[in-house]
Amino acid sequence: MLNLLRLLLVSCLLQCLIVNASQDSKIPSEDEVVPLNLTVLAPESIPYHYFNYDDASVVGTSVDEINSHMQKANLASPTFRIYPWKRALYLANKQPKTLIMPLSRTPERENDYVWLKAMRETFFSIYSLDDTPLTPEIVREKNISIYCENAGMQCLLLSKTGFPEKFIKENHGVSHDKFLDLALAGRIKYFLAEQDLVERGLKLRRLPLNTLKKVYTLNKPVSDYLAISKNNEPELINLLIQIFEK
C-alpha cells in the first residue's frame, strides 16, 4: 500500500512538471498547435483589416500577415474584431491577451506598450476639390476648417504640424470613405486622409485620381504598429516578441 501511494505521488509530481513546462514562453514544437486565445482589435480600414459580410469574418492584408507569423510558430490564429479605434484602444488596455492595430508609436505611449511589429507606414495629406495649396498660416488667416478622423494620431498630427487646433474638426467614427463622399458632394472642403485609401476610394468610384488634390502633405510618414499593453503577463509578452521578431 505504501509503495502504491509513493507511485501515485511521483505520478502527480511529473504531471505538474509537464503542465508547468507547457506554460513556458518558448515557441512550441512543430508537431503541436497551441491556442493562446489572443484577440486583435482594429478599426475598419480596407484593405488592411475589415469585416467580410460574406462569411462574417475579419480579413485583410494585415490580418494575413499576423496569421502568417502565428502559423510559423505553430500557434492558433487570434480572434480578430473590428471596433471603433477609441473603443479598441480602451479594451486593449483593460482586457488581457488583447492586441491592437494600428497604433502610432509616440513618446507619450512608448512605455505603456510593447511594440510587436511595424505593420506599415502611412502617408497623410490634406485633400480638397480645390488645388490651391494650404498652409497653417492660410488656415489661421481665413478661418478654414480641416476635418479629420479621431483615430490613431490623425488629428493630433495636424496640430503638431502647426495647424491651429480650433480649426481642426475631429469626427468620431467617420471613415475616410465618408470624408471622401462629403468632399465630392461639396459638403466639406478640406479633410485629412491616407493617400492609399483616397486613391482606392476614387478608383472604386471610377473617378480620375486627380479629382481630389493634395493641398498639403505631412512631411513624415506615420509608422503604425501591432502592439500589446505592458499590463499583460511577462511570459505572454516574451512569447509574442519571439513570434514577431522573425
CATH number at residue 63: 3.40.190.10
Of all residues in the chain, the percent with pLDDT exceeding 90 is 54
Domain contains 3: no
Q: Does the residue 188 lie in any domain?
A: yes
Q: Do 134 and 109 reside in the same domain of the chain?
A: no
Mean pLDDT of 2-28: 42
Q: Within this chain, do residues 41 and 109 fall inside the same structural domain, yes or no?
A: yes
Q: Which three cell numbers stand for residue 242?
A: 519571439
74-118 residue pLDDT tens: 999 999 999 988 889 999 999 999 999 988 888 888 999 999 999
What is the count of structural domains for the chain?
Answer: 2
pLDDT in tens, 110-152: 999 999 999 988 888 999 999 999 999 999 999 999 998 765 5
| In a domain? residue 238 | yes
User: Do both 232 and 172 map to the same domain?
Assistant: no
Model confidence at 12: pLDDT above 60: no
Q: Is residue 41 part of a domain?
A: yes
Q: Which of 130, 132, 192 is nearest to 161 (CA)?
A: 192
CB 120 within 8 A of CB 65: no
Q: Strands (DSSP E) along 2-56, which ranges?
A: 39-42, 50-52
- Confidence at 31, pLDDT banded by 50, 70, 90: low
| Structural domain range at position 233 | 36-121+223-244
Shared domain for 111 and 230, answered yes or no, is yes
Residues 103 and 114 reside in one and the same domain: yes
Whether residue 47 is predicted with pLDDT greater than 90 in this model: the reply is no
Whole-number average pLDDT of the chain = 84
